[in-house]
Structure 1
Amino acid sequence: MLYILLSICCSIIVSVMLKLAKRYHIDVYQAVVWNYSMAVFLSWLFLKPKLVHLSGAPIVNYALLGLLLPSLFIVIGISIKQSGIVRTDIAQRLSLLIPIIAAFLLFGEHNSLLKSVGILTGFAAILCTIPWKTSGVVGKVGANAWLYLLMVFVGMGLIDVLFKQIAAFKAVTYGTSLFIVFVLAFAFSLAGLVYQVAAKKMKFSWPHILIGWVLGIANFGNILFYIKAHKALADKPSTVFSAMNIGVIVFGALIGLIIFKEKLSLLNKAGILIAIIAVVILSIS
């Protein structure tokens, strides 16, 4: 359970750093770019990629992930700024509904009554946590907050499907695939940074390299400890899955409500409880 707790902590640290970005005038894009440089280094150090026998590897999936990961990181940062940590974390965790639906719509997996109940419960949680109001009891949220939450939900779901597809390709180890994806994510995001600086649309900032490295350590730590938790509890994958997702929702809610004073309506608070129930049902199914 220590690995699960560490993974949860790393995930929350990423959310908190993105939440504090505006307060400390941090350019999220530049931080995200250097975050992936650290991810490349740490994945090489800890995952021991084997860059041989890559013929037939799912290159298209690698490229899509390389583009989606940094892009969604930016969207998550905007969503946290617009909607807060609580709602954004729930949108991320409930994105698991997309690969579950894809499993029996695209990959022929058998559906069950319990799984259907879990999916419907998850969608109910999403509807409850959307900031339907932009003022009043819900607190200060952006006018397009719901759109960014939707993008987080769909984007995380697509990324999960793509990762599941590359995990199914046994000729290349998962650690090697992760390393390649991080290299591509860094290359694509760095190219974007160079273009924006050259076009004078952005001013390069050296301190963002260090900020990005700290973000990268937390981001990679989330992945590494999650993998280690699955290895340590190989016979209890549902325990790891549910504990991780519920932990992030609960701790994220506590951080958002207590430290950042995020305001939620009664419907939003009910959504948190329903989200936890949905995760439990889906992990059992």
Structure 2
Amino acid sequence: MIYIILSICCSVTVAVLLKLAKRYQISIIQAVTINYLAALSLCFLFFKPDVKLITPLAPWPIYIALAILLPSIFLFLAASVKNLGIVKTDIAQRLSLFIPILAAYFIFKEDFNDLKIIGLTIGFVAIFLTFFRKSNQEKGNKGSLLYPIMVFVGFGVIDVLFKQLALYKELPYTTSLFTVFCLAFMVSLLIVISMVMAGKIKIQLVNVICGFILGFFNFGNILFYMKAHKALAENPSTVFAAMNLGVIIAGTLIGVIAFKEKLSKLNYAGIILAIAAVIFITLSQNAVR
């Protein structure tokens, strides 16, 4: 259980760091780039991937798609935390699990039981209530709802792609993960170089330091999540439920208490329904077994 707690702490810390980035005027794209440099370095250190196994026959279309999506969604994640706060962003990220579930049904023709259908239905209501705003609230900032929507869709698609990598048996998953981090770093670096050449940003040491800190916690989230699944190999649904519920609850507490994020009664209702949705989906996995 300690691995689940550590993974939750790392996940929420990433959101907190992105929240603080606005206060201290950190360049997100620079921090994200260094984040992937730190992540691939830690991946090499802890997982010791065999790069010799990477050949032209590897699933390069998935690698390239993830390399573009990961830094892009990270920027939307940062924008969502900045504009809507930790609470709503964390819920958008966690409820993105609906996309791989829907993909399993429509693409992979997986059977759905009643519990999963109930969970999905509650989840979609939760999404609506969590992001509901009164018409007179933040009229000039309507576009900010785009950010959590992109987080929701983006993380869902990323999850589907990573699941496809996990099913690719010709290469160890950790080797594929290392390859994705390398490519994501290169994509981010190209963006930074182009922005520096255009005079839009300047390289600053503080962004590099923040990027390494961000990368440490980002990788920690992945490492401890994988260790939790290994330690509780016979109870994957326990890891799934504890992780998602833990992030939603911890993110809500930190957002409301530490950052004074304002939520309406309908938003709180959405949070409660989001928790209920995760519980039903977890129960549905047990029912299948």
User: Does structure 2 retain, via aligned residues, the 8 Å contact 1:134–1:142?
Assistant: no
Quote the offset at 1:221 in angstroms.
0.2
Which has the larger displacement, 122-131 or 53-62? 53-62
Match of 2:147 in 1: 148
User: Does structure 2 retain, via aligned residues, the 8 Å contact 1:91–1:152?
Assistant: yes
User: Does structure 2 retain, via aligned residues, the 8 Å contact 1:38–1:213?
Assistant: yes
Distance 1:16 1:200 in 2: 29
Give the TM-score normalised by the residue count of structure 2.
0.95
Quote the offset at 1:199 in angstroms.
1.6
Q: Which runs of 5 or more residues in structure 1 are unaligned?
A: none
Distance 2:151 2:93 in 1: 6
Greater fraction helix: 2
Shift in alpha-carbon separation, 1:184–1:267, aligned structure 2, 3 A: same
Distance 2:183 2:91 in 1: 28
Distance 1:209 1:167 in 2: 31
Match of 1:34 in 2: 34
Match of 2:96 in 1: 95
Distance 2:135 2:205 in 1: 36
Quote the offset at 1:134 in angstroms.
6.9
Q: SS where residue 141 of structure 2 aligns?
A: coil
1:225 aligned onto 2:224: yes
Quote the offset at 1:192 in angstroms.
0.8
Distance 1:209 1:134 in 2: 40
Distance 1:114 1:268 in 2: 24
User: Does structure 2 retain, via aligned residues, the 8 Å contact 1:6–1:225?
Assistant: yes
Which amino acid letter does the alignment assign opposite residue 209 of structure 1?
V
Distance 2:140 2:92 in 1: 15
Match of 1:109 in 2: 110
Residues 253-284 of structure 1: CA distance to partner in whole angstroms, max 9, x if unpaired? 00000000000000000111100010011111
Shift in alpha-carbon separation, 1:261–1:134, aligned structure 2, 3 A: farther
Match of 1:75 in 2: 76
Quote the offset at 1:108 in angstroms.
1.7
Match of 1:23 in 2: 23
Match of 1:7 in 2: 7
User: Does structure 2 retain, via aligned residues, the 8 Å contact 1:86–1:249?
Assistant: yes
User: Does structure 1 retain, via aligned residues, the 8 Å contact 2:10–2:217?
Assistant: yes
1:231-270 paired onto structure 2 within 5 Å: 231-270=230-269
Shift in alpha-carbon separation, 1:134–1:194, aligned structure 2, 3 A: farther
Quote the offset at 1:133 in angstroms.
3.2
Shift in alpha-carbon separation, 1:130–1:59, aligned structure 2, 3 A: same
Q: SS where residue 26 of structure 1 aligns?
A: coil
User: Does structure 2 retain, via aligned residues, the 8 Å contact 1:83–1:131?
Assistant: no
Match of 1:123 in 2: 124
Match of 2:61 in 1: 60
Distance 1:270 1:145 in 2: 21
Distance 1:254 1:158 in 2: 28
Quote the offset at 1:141 in angstroms.
9.1
Match of 1:204 in 2: 203
Give the TM-score normalised by the residue count of structure 1.
0.96
Q: Give the number of aligned pairs.
A: 283
State the identity as a percent: 54
Q: Which runs of 5 or more residues in structure 2 are unaligned?
A: 285-289
User: Does structure 1 retain, via aligned residues, the 8 Å contact 2:132–2:266?
Assistant: no
Distance 1:169 1:141 in 2: 46
